[in-house]
Structure 1
Amino acid sequence: MYKLKLIDKISLVLAIIGAINWGLIGLFNLNLVGVLFGEPANLIGRLVYILIGVSGANLLMLLIKTKQSFKQ
């Protein structure tokens, strides 16, 4: 069984934050990252978006790794 590393746990938290943000945008037209870090997206806001995107890519790799470990 694959044991989650710290980076995987951080990626999960960031992906959840991103998913909640997209849900708020869809339901209430409220961009929580924009509210917290300024609109339009300044440097910090853009970094948050980049980190969320990278965490999504990391979770995709995690999915591939765990799928391979289950086959063995």
Structure 2
Amino acid sequence: MKRLALILVIIGALNWGLIGLLRFDLVATLFGGAASWISRTIYILVGIAGIYAVTLLFKDREGRETT
């Protein structure tokens, strides 16, 4: 689960980098525009992965929550 979340967060970060630098949305280009259902699904999954990745900030190396 952590690895999948990391992959999706990296995809999102690279896509936002391309948007910021070149005004080029790779996800929209590959999947038929920003409004297509598959692009929107990818955007949603990247968002969920980002939320999940935030929870990883609050765990120590052994996977226990820090207090």
TM-score range normalised by the length of the shorter chain? 0.7 to 0.9
TM-score (norm 1): 0.80
Q: Does 1:47 align with 2:41?
A: yes
Q: Which runs of 4+ in 1 moved over 6 A?
A: none
Structure 1 unaligned spans of 5+: 1-6
Partner Cα distance (1:38, 1:28) in 2: 19
Structure with the higher fraction of residues in helix conformation? 1
TM-score (norm 2): 0.85
Equivalent of 1:31 in 25, 33, 50: 25
Q: Considering only aligned residues, what root-mean-square deviation do their CA atoms show, in Å? A: 2.2
User: Percent of pairs identical after alignment?
Assistant: 44
